[in-house]
Every structure is written in C-alpha cells, then in structure tokens.
C-alpha cells in the first residue's frame, strides 16, 4: 500500500545557486515525489506563486524570489532501481568532453534525457549515479528522446547559469545533421517561421508554424544528395521545441523516421533499408564561457545505424 501525506503551505526563497533556473525545472528537481504533469498543472492553475503572483513554467528565477507552494498530496514512491551496468557502460563510452565544470556526451537515440512518466531512469539519472560526488550535475539543455548527439551537462550551478545566458543570447553554435525527403532548392534553405507549442488532451506536445508563435530561425545547408533524399546540416539560431523537425516539414522536406511530423511513405522506404529511428543528430556544439574565456568545440560522430543508412542510399 502506498503511504500518502499532505504537506503544509511552503515558502522558498531563491538563493544564488538557483537564480536564473526555469521554475519548472526547479520544481521538478525539488518535488521528486510529484509527477511532472502535476507540477505543470499547479503552475497552469496559478497554485504556485512567485512573489504573490501567478507565473509561467518558463519563468527564470531571480535572486530573492519567494515561491509559495500550496498544500500538496504526496505519495511515497518506490525508489527507482539504479541504472544497470549496460547503461553505465554505454554512456561511459559516449563521453565526448569532460573538465571540472562540464560534461558533454553523445546522447544515444531512444533514451530520454531525464526520467518521467513510464520511464524511471533517463540520461541525467544515469550520469548522476555515475558521478555521486557531483550533486549539482544538471542538464544545460535538452534533446528529444529519439535525437542523438551532443548533450551538455553542467557540474556547477555557476556554469549552468553562464551557459543558459549564452543560449538565451544566441551565443551557442549548434549544428545538426538530418536526412530529409526530396531535394532542397537555394530559396528554401533559410526558414524563418514562428512556432507555437500546444499540448493535446493526452499531454502530448505538438508544435506548429503560427504567426503568433515565438520567432524561430533555422538555416539548412545541403551536404549530400541521394535518390529522393538529401543529407543536410541544420544550424539553430533559436532553440524552440521540435524546431528543426517542424521547419523541415514546413518546407515539405520532413526528416526521415519522424513519426510525429514526418511523411509515412518516406519513413516506410527508409525502414525497408534498416532505419528504425529519427535521422536527426546533434553534430556540433561550440561556445565560449565568459568568466574564464574557455572555448569549447565538440563534435559527435554519427551512430553506426545512421552511417549504414547513408551507405545503402
């Protein structure tokens, strides 16, 4: 039987180590016994207040902010099993860069960056188990579960804040590789189309081009042409959810293996030659940390499955 408890109203004052973090990420980390869906519902209904006001999930906490948490019905969850040796070995082999402040891995496809509904252990939980002496190890950004490639984690809150600042001001250079349907013409390569995120009743996220959405810019560059397909580089100038996937579809060049925004017939043809995943890979990431002047440039090689797919094409 699951034990339950009701917490009293709580007030949390934000200290320096947590300033500049999104409130949804802060609450997910702090309220580990609550499902993420419940946390977002609390924010959406205004039950969580910051400085006595309603707030959005994307709000970035400021030093001295006071968060009010309502009384909550908590369940004592079964503690998730530690990651298996196979998962640990796989991520160990995929570490691309590490220093005292940063960890950059080549994230495998098919594994979410963090645990959630139906998934107890994601990339970050596995890495925290691998680095027990790094309690502040945190994702700097996210990749879709089916996307592989460069994923940055910060070992310190100060590093997390600095790179978040770089991301907001467009000072992190991110290049992806994608296999897309058809052949791009020069006039199609720059996609500047606003994106709006919606949540379906099932809780699934869907992103659409919408003039009232957030400004979004992706620049595509042809790398290699194949029969009915093209390998392209996609450079992100903004960081919206599913941006590359939606912009590629908007140009009628959906990404191979994309079950949400893709083309069924194109996906079927690629499955016949062995592609069983989304062909989207975070190939390169580059930035300079302001406080130290440290320049970081990391590339992640294509996974064997993607290489085989290109060879067969």
Catalytic residues, by residue number, are 144
For 50, how many CA atoms within 13 A lie in the half-sphere containing its CB?
21
Distance CA 125, CA 107 (A): 13
Determine how many CB atoms are found less than 10 A away from the CB of residue 280: 28
Give CA 220 to chain center in angstroms. 20
Nearest 10 degrees: CA dihedral of 171, 177, 181, 185?
60
163 neighbors 210 (Cβ within 8 angstroms): no
Rg (alpha carbons) of the chain, rounded to whole number = 21
**Which 3-state string (H, E, C) describes 214-257?**
ECCEEEEEEEEEECCEEEEEEEECCCCCCHHHHHHHHCCCCECC
Per-residue burial over 160-180, b = 16 or more CB atoms within 10 Å of its CB, e = otherwise = bbbbbebbeeeebebbbbbbb
Strand positions, DSSP E, the chain: 4-6, 10-13, 49-50, 66-69, 73-75, 95-98, 102-107, 138-139, 148-154, 173-181, 190-192, 195-199, 205-209, 217-226, 229-236, 280-289, 294-299
């Amino acid at each position: 039987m699951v034990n339950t408890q009701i917490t009293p109203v709580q007030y949390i004052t934000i200290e320096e180590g947590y300033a500049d973090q999104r409130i949804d990420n802060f609450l997910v980390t702090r309220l580990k016994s609550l499902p993420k869906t419940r946390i977002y519902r609390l924010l959406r209904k205004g039950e969580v207040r910051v400085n006595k006001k309603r707030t959005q999930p994307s709000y970035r906490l400021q030093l001295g902010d006071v968060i009010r948490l309502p009384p909550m019905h908590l369940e004592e969850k079964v503690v998730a099993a530690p990651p298996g040796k196979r998962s640990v070995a796989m991520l160990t082999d995929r570490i691309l860069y590490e220093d005292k402040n940063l960890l950059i891995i080549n994230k495998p496809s098919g594994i979410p960056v963090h645990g959630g509904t139906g998934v107890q252990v994601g990339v970050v939980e596995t890495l925290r188990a691998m680095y027990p002496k790094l309690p502040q190890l945190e994702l700097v950004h996210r990749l879709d579960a089916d996307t592989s490639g460069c994923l940055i984690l910060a070992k310190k809150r100060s590093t997390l804040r600095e790179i978040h600042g770089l991301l907001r001001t467009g000072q992190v250079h991110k290049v992806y590789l994608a296999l897309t349907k058809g052949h791009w013409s020069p006039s199609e390569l720059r996609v500047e189309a606003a994106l709006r995120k919606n949540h379906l009743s099932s809780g699934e996220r869907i992103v659409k081009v919408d003039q009232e959405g957030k400004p979004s810019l992706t620049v595509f560059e042809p790398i290699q042409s194949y029969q009915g397909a093209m390998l392209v580089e996609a450079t992100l100038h903004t960081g919206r959810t599913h941006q590359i996937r939606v912009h590629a579809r908007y140009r009628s060049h959906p990404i191979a293996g994309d079950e949400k925004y893709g083309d069924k017939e194109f996906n079927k043809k690629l499955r016949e030659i062995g592609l069983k995943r989304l062909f989207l890979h975070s190939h390169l990431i580059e930035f300079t940390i302001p406080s130290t002047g440290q320049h970081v440039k990391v590339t992640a090689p294509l996974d064997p499955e993607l290489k085989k797919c290109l060879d067969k094409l």
